[in-house]
């Protein structure tokens, strides 16, 4: 189990009143998650009955029969449908906006724009509705109507006069001297991020071969099958959002903050989602716009983005320009890695998981001298957001191209060069990897299956050439992201309800966590129900990103189930008059000394104390 250790340090008198004292003389509070009374880890030799064995997805039947309800499928009494009017200009000032005709259209119940919307801050630099639009697709107005068709008609009735402004859409244009400013402070978003270890220039002086090149990666769009969107409904001062999101608690916190509500007045539900890929880690404007329209209309409002809006205003993988410099000895040993990175964040910084383009240069290959500098630029384009290993994908393209250039210069096999510089520890943290030989095993298995060593380039035949290539990447995924919590209740009929506040984003979280619960409790999987995806029904869980959900919630589920199993064994011990240490739970039975013929079923034990339950 986990507990919190909270330490308070009194404020120093010297620091009070000084600029560097960000706390204004207040005591410093440190919160640390502490692991206590941990269950013994399952060992590599553990024989599992449920975990690691194939099983149909618990929600599989719902999905293949069409019964699974996605955000798009929500239908509530008197529900309205919303549409958003978006800027046709990359940069413009709204000189006039008139929504009177739209408001007068029969079947229209609510209209929002900068003229009547609350002054709500959004992104790190903007507002919910701006009077200056900064990219094609920026939100200008929104309507809610009895049907999608009426909402579309209403948008056409909104009159807007724009004053076009100079704009920049590429990194190079944004960073050139005298470029049109996306924001008043200029086009550099925050301070450049620099990392350095060793002595880069000394590493290049030591090098016998140096390669240097510039690489450009373009923007990429997520385009999940289900676009972003939600349905909002109020009951009094309580808001419920059925949202397509990777983080129900993140959306609850952000929406509550924007609307000035306590968090317990906002409920977020997400049972199924048609893809996210990082773009749905945060609350987007449509979440709050739908809530405001619903409150104004006095009806539930569904706001789902169409495909055009999905491509313009729901995030993208940021484009980059990377100048890469590698130094090496003649035997291929890397002596220096330098990377100067420029990337676009679009018109606004969205928050959420950052794009760490620098990271792979710092970790992938063993090298004592490394320096990276990462500069983020504003452009008049849609805001960037996390997209499947954000930053590492873009950097892997550039670094691996440079490694191929180095291999060519040295006359070395590209795979051999990579293995020559294999890193067995995290050089940033100076700690060994959990599986130091894992990447090496992947490389050897892939090249062996392909027949890399025996490959012979075919002779040229006409204008076409055929070849093969090899590349490596890494991503800091699979670790836990605590805290995450779980509840468990053993019912009177011997079935179990496991409750978490996480979300299944299509990766099998329902089934995976239920398998852990069934394994620990000793029940067949069909005797375990896993409830998730509802902030009002489960305890806190973090956003599902970076392949962390199973690693975060798995231990919590196992700990909760372990506590219930301990109670079960104490009750069974009293009923059978044997010491608890002689008992185990297997295949739905509490057995004595491992003999399945001796003991009681879990259902019999549970019924003996009914209507009380174990939890």
Going by C-alpha positions, the residue among 279, 308, 233 that lies closest to residue 75 is: 233
Going by C-alpha positions, the residue among 489, 515, 488 that lies closest to residue 606 is: 489
Phi, psi (5° rounding) for residue 435?
A: -130, 80
Contact between 565 and 585 (Cβ < 8 Å): yes
| Cross-strand pairs, 323 | 214, 340
| Percentage of the chain exceeding pLDDT 70 | 94
Q: Where are the beta strands (DSSP E) in 347-401?
A: 370-378
Residues 6+ apart with CB under 8 A from 4: 31, 32, 33, 34
| Cross-strand pairs, 215 | 322
Whole-structure pTM value: 0.92
- C-alpha to C-alpha distance for 606 and 614, rounded to whole angstroms: 8
Domains of the chain by range and CATH? 2-35 (no CATH), 71-166+223-313 (3.30.365.10), 181-220+316-449 (3.30.365.10), 486-609 (3.30.365.10)
- Tell me how crowded residue 570 is: count the other CB atoms within 10 A of its CB: 13
Tell me which residue has tokens 């002689």. 582
- Tell me how crowded residue 591 is: count the other CB atoms within 10 A of its CB: 19
Q: Measuring CA to CA, how many Å separate 59 from each of 64, 67, 289, 294, 535? A: 9, 10, 31, 31, 20
Tell me which residue has tokens 């990082």. 278
For residue 17, the model assigns a pLDDT of 38
For residue 486, the model assigns a pLDDT of 98
- C-alpha to C-alpha distance for 499 and 555, rounded to whole angstroms: 14
Query: Across the 615 residues of the chain, what is the mean pLDDT of every consecutive 10-residue run?
Result: 56 43 52 65 92 95 96 97 98 98 98 97 95 98 98 98 98 98 96 97 98 98 97 98 98 98 98 96 98 98 97 97 98 98 97 90 98 98 96 97 98 97 95 92 96 89 88 87 96 97 96 98 97 98 94 96 96 96 96 92 96 95
- C-alpha to C-alpha distance for 129 and 119, rounded to whole angstroms: 8
For residue 78, the model assigns a pLDDT of 98
The continuous run of DSSP H or E covering 498 comes out as: strand 496-500
Going by C-alpha positions, the residue among 226, 231, 285 that lies closest to residue 87 is: 285
Phi, psi (5° rounding) for residue 236?
A: 65, -125
Torsion, Cα of 49, 55, 58, 59 (10° steps): 170
Tell me which residue has tokens 């419920």. 240
**Cβ-count burial of 133 within 10 angstroms (0-12 exposed, 13-18 middle, 19+ buried)?**
buried
Angle between helices 602-609 and 549-576 (to 10 degrees): 70
**Tokens read off for 414:** 């590209």
Going by C-alpha positions, the residue among 149, 129, 147, 146 that lies closest to residue 138 is: 129
- C-alpha to C-alpha distance for 303 and 282, rounded to whole angstroms: 16
C-alpha 525: how far from chain center: 28
- C-alpha to C-alpha distance for 255 and 258, rounded to whole angstroms: 5
For residue 25, the model assigns a pLDDT of 55
For residue 419, the model assigns a pLDDT of 98
Residues 6+ apart with CB under 8 A from 94: 114, 130, 131, 132, 133, 140, 160, 161, 162, 163
Exposure string (b/e) for 161-200, b if CB count within 10 Å is 16 or more? ebeebebbbbbeebbeeebeebeeeebebeeeeeeebbeb
Residue ranges of alpha helices (H) inside 475-601 are 509-521, 549-576
SS3 track for 225-268: CCCCEEEEEEECCEEEEEECCCCHHHHHHHHHHHHCCCHHHEEE
**Tokens read off for 52:** 């690691």
Q: What is the DSSP string of 37-92?
A: SPPPPPPTT---SSTTS----TTHHHHHHT----GGG---TT-EEEEEEE-SSSSE
Radius of gyration for the alpha carbons in the chain, expressed in angstroms and rounded: 29
């Amino acid at each position: 189990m986990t507990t919190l250790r909270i330490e308070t340090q009194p404020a120093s008198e010297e620091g009070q009143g000084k600029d560097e004292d960000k706390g204004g003389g207040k005591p410093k509070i440190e919160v640390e998650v502490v692991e206590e009374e941990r269950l013994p880890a399952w060992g590599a030799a553990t024989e599992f009955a449920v975990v690691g064995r194939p099983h149909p997805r618990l929600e599989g039947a719902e999905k293949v029969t069409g019964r699974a309800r996605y955000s798009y499928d929500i239908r509530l009494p008197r529900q309205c449908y919303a549409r958003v009017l978006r800027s046709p200009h990359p940069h413009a000032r709204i000189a006039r906006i008139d929504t009177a005709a739209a408001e007068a259209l029969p079947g229209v119940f609510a209209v929002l724009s900068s003229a009547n919307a609350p002054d709500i801050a959004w992104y790190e630099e903007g507002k919910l509705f701006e009077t200056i639009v900064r990219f094609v697709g920026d939100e200008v107005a929104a309507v809610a109507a009895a049907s999608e068709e009426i909402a579309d008609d209403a948008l056409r009735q909104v009159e807007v006069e724009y004053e076009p402004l100079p704009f920049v859409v590429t990194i190079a244009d944004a960073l050139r001297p005298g470029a049109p400013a996306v924001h008043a402070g200029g086009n550099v978003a925050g301070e450049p991020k620099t990392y350095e270890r060793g002595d880069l220039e000394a590493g290049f002086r030591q090098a016998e071969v140096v390669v240097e090149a510039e690489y450009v990666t373009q923007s990429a769009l997520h385009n999940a099958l289900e676009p972003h969107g939600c349905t909002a409904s109020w009951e009094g001062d309580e808001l419920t959002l059925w949202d397509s999101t990777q983080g129900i608690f993140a959306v609850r916190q952000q929406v509550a903050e924007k609307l000035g509500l306590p968090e317990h007045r906002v409920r977020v539900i997400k049972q199924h989602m048609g893809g996210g890929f990082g773009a749905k880690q945060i609350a987007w404007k449509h979440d709050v716009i739908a809530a405001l329209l619903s409150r104004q209309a006095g009806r539930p409002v569904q706001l789902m983005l169409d495909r055009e809006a999905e491509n313009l205003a729901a995030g993208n993988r940021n484009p980059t320009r990377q100048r890469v410099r590698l130094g090496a000895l003649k035997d291929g040993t890397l002596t220096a890695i330098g990377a100067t990175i420029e990337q676009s964040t679009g018109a606004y910084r969205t928050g959420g998981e950052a794009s760490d383009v620098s990271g792979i240069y710092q970790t992938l290959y063993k090298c004592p001298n490394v320096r990276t500098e990462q500069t983020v630029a504003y452009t008049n384009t849609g805001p960037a957001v996390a997209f499947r290993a954000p930053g590492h994908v873009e950097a892997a393209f550039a670094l691996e191209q440079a490694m191929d250039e180095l291999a060519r210069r040295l006359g070395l096999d590209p795979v051999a060069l990579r293995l020559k510089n294999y890193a067995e520890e995290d050089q940033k943290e100076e700690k060994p990897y959990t599986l130091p030989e894992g990447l090496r095993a992947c490389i050897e298995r892939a090249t062996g299956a392909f027949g890399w060593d025996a490959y012979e380039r075919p002779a040229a035949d006409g204008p076409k050439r055929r070849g093969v290539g090899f590349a490596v990447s890494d991503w800091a995924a699979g670790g836990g992201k605590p805290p995450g919590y779980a509840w468990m209740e053993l019912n009177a009929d011997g079935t179990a309800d496991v409750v978490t506040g996480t979300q299944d984003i299509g990766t099998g979280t329902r089934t995976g966590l239920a398998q852990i619960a069934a394994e620990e409790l000793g029940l067949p999987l069909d005797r375990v129900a896993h409830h998730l995806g509802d902030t009002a029904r489960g305890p806190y869980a973090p956003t599902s990103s970076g392949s962390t959900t199973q690693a975060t919630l798995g231990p919590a589920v196992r700990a909760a189930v372990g506590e219930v199993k301990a109670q079960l064994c104490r009750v069974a011990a009293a009923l059978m008059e044997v010491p608890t240490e002689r008992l185990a739970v297997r295949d739905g039975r509490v057995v004595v000394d491992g003999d399945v013929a001796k003991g009681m079923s879990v259902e019999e034990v549970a019924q003996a104390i009914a209507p009380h339950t174990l939890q």
